[in-house]
Amino acid sequence: MVLNIPSLSFLTLIFLFSSPLAETIDFSYPAVFNFGDSNSDTGGLVAAGIGESLDPPNGQTYFHKPSGRFCDGRLIIDFLMDAMDLPFLNAYLDSVGTPTFQKGCNFAAAGSTILPATASSVSPFSFGIQVAQFFRFKARVLELLSKSKKPNKYLPLEGYFNQSLYMFDIGQNDLAGAFYSKTEDQVIASIPTILLEFEAGIKRLYDQGARRFWVHNTGPLGCLPQNIATFGKDPSKLDELGCVSSHNRAAKLFNLQLHALCRKLQGQFIDANITYVDVFSIKVNLIANYSRYGFEQPIMTCCGYGGAPLNYDIRISCGQTKTLNGSSVTAKGCNDTTEYVNWDGIHYTEAANQYVSSQILTGKYSDPPFSDKMPFLLKLKF
Ligand SMILES: *[C@@H]1O[C@H](CO)[C@@H](O)[C@H](O)[C@H]1NC(C)=O
Ligand SMILES: *[C@@H]1O[C@H](CO)[C@@H](O)[C@H](O)[C@H]1NC(C)=O
Ligand SMILES: *[C@@H]1O[C@H](CO)[C@@H](O)[C@H](O)[C@H]1NC(C)=O
Ligand SMILES: *[C@@H]1O[C@H](CO)[C@@H](O)[C@H](O)[C@H]1NC(C)=O
Ligand SMILES: *[C@@H]1O[C@H](CO)[C@@H](O)[C@H](O)[C@H]1NC(C)=O
């Protein structure tokens, strides 16, 4: 991976001087509250102890051991926290070791959906539950703060709740999961219902004082080896990038409606700021133009089993050993994770997450766009 600060700063400078319309926004927040799925889960689902575990080589790149993240290293949220000069978020569900929540709390859990979970859901912590967990968190914090005059380094201050950044990255599992039992038309027809649930959660947060919202749209899920292996066996189902067309069409329609919802809410909540971030475009550009960004494998799984073209077998996840056809096989990591966009068939590598984060921080993929991230970009630890 060739990505260094001088080239990044240079590109940012070009952008700064070429986009006079971009708004400047204040990128300093006392704390961050995040809601989402595995794309931003920093340890929630694993801590929940409901059967999901992560084995090495997960976490090998940065944490040097499994870190509760479905990745070899850091996630987009980790890079964004770094850019905001805030520590990595601890998971709400991770209670051991006196984690500090002063600078925020992460309610995201892998496998989570916006719609309420069903018996077959990977995660019971759907969006509404995550929002409810936040309210429980806030109520407990306020109660504890009211009992003691001393500052508590483990808890946010009361005034943080209406100044913090509320981040969201959820919806991918609603779409990906629906394709197992629904036609493309049915999946698309369900999008307004999914987004009504999302809107209800955002409104509850707004009613409780949240004013700064940051919403990631959903990625090109048709480009994930898991979906290609399951839905792309017939080559006519694939687009020019080798991605499942139906899944990417659904993701695009979801994003169009999510974007419209963000604009509508921005109109209603005039004292709030809602930033919509087009992660889809960043990821599809990365997959299409991977070599330009220093990658060698745009789609093939780094940590998987089965070899080219996908190196993905749905029966055996990254780091696991299983008996297939009478012989014991292991889904191993690739030699150089920085050559791969995809980590385990469903999630991106740290190198890809770093690239995506650097693009988010240019401000040009967001609505409204922003441009004053320079001081924060320079703090990014590459
Ligand atoms: C929203 O953004 C505007 C323009 O950057 C800023 O002046 C205002 O303080 C922000 N409001 C909140 C609640 O962050
Ligand atoms: C934020 O909360 C503080 C204390 O909880 C309150 O004094 C202040 O008015 C609130 N600001 C807004 C914009 O709600
Ligand atoms: C790949 O890069 C080219 C040239 O910059 C650009 O026109 C194209 O839109 C990119 N592809 C995607 C899918 O973003
Ligand atoms: C298992 O063995 C059968 C028969 O030899 C073969 O057709 C099949 O491809 C094998 N499957 C795997 C996953 O190796
Ligand atoms: C990984 O490295 C080992 C040892 O250098 C080599 O034998 C193997 O072929 C490499 N695998 C790939 C996929 O490049």
Q: How many angstroms does the Cα of residue 163 sit away from the middle of ligand 2?
A: 8
State the pLDDT confidence band at 23, using cuts at 50, 70 and 90: low
Counting from 1 in the atom list of ligand 2, the atom nearest the Cα of 211 is 13
Query: CA 278 to CA 380: how far, in whole Å?
Result: 21
Counting from 1 in the atom list of ligand 4, the atom nearest the Cα of 325 is 1
What residue ranges do the domains of the chain occupy?
10-379
190 is catalytic: no
Q: How many angstroms does the Cα of residue 239 sit away from the middle of ligand 3?
A: 15
Q: Per residue in 116-131, pLDDT tens?
A: 999 889 999 999 999 9
The whole-number pLDDT of residue 3 equals 40
Q: Maximum distance among all alpha carbons in the chain? A: 66
Gyration radius from the chain CA atoms:
20
Q: How many angstroms does the Cα of residue 325 sit away from the middle of ligand 4?
A: 6
Q: Which residue puts its alpha carbon closest to atom 1 of ligand 4?
A: 325
Ligand whose nearest atom lies closest to the CA of 326: 4
The whole-number pLDDT of residue 1 equals 44
Ligand whose nearest atom lies closest to the CA of 207: 2
The whole-number pLDDT of residue 329 equals 96
Would the CB of 196 count as within 6 Å of ligand 4? no
Q: Which residue puts its alpha carbon closest to atom 12 of ligand 2?
A: 162
Of 23-37, 124-138, 307-321, the one with minimum mean pLDDT is 23-37
344 is catalytic: yes
Q: Which residue has the tokens 């509850």?
A: 204
The whole-number pLDDT of residue 24 equals 52
The whole-number pLDDT of residue 95 equals 87
pLDDT at 19 exceeding the cut of 50: no
Q: Which residues of 206-219 are buried (b: 16+ CB within 10 A; e: fewer)?
A: beeebbbbbbbbbb
Q: How many angstroms does the Cα of residue 134 sit away from the middle of ligand 2?
A: 18
Ligand whose nearest atom lies closest to the CA of 146: 2
The whole-number pLDDT of residue 7 equals 40
State the pLDDT confidence band at 26, using cuts at 50, 70 and 90: low
Mean pLDDT, residues 258-267 taken together: 98
Mean pLDDT, residues 95-99 taken together: 83
The whole-number pLDDT of residue 149 equals 82
Could you tell me the two tokens for 289? 């133009």
Counting from 1 in the atom list of ligand 1, the atom nearest the Cα of 25 is 5
State the pLDDT confidence band at 97, using cuts at 50, 70 and 90: confident
More confident: 380 or 70: 70
Q: How many angstroms does the Cα of residue 68 sit away from the middle of ligand 5?
A: 27
Percent of the chain exceeding pLDDT 90 equals 85
Class of the domain covering 10-379: alpha beta
Mean pLDDT, residues 158-166 taken together: 96
The whole-number pLDDT of residue 18 equals 40
Q: CA distances (Å), 294 to each of 76, 184, 271, 281, 363, in order?
A: 18, 34, 42, 18, 22
Of 121, 344, 57, the C-alpha closest to 224 is 344
Q: Per residue in 178-212, pLDDT tens?
A: 999 999 999 999 999 999 999 999 999 999 999 99
Counting from 1 in the atom list of ligand 3, the atom nearest the Cα of 287 is 13
The residue annotated as part of the active site, out of 164, 278, 313, 347, is 347
Of 15-19, 177-181, 250-254, 336-340, the one with minimum mean pLDDT is 15-19
Q: Which residue puts its alpha carbon closest to atom 7 of ligand 2?
A: 159
Mean pLDDT, residues 39-52 taken together: 94
Mean pLDDT, residues 234-240 taken together: 97
Q: How many angstroms does the Cα of residue 242 sit away from the middle of ligand 1?
A: 42
28 is catalytic: no
Q: Which residue puts its alpha carbon closest to atom 14 of ligand 3?
A: 285
Q: Which residue puts its alpha carbon closest to atom 10 of ligand 4?
A: 325
105's enclosing H/E stretch is strand 104-106
- pTM for the complete prediction? 0.90
Could you tell me the two tokens for 114? 């916006």
Percent of the chain exceeding pLDDT 70 equals 90
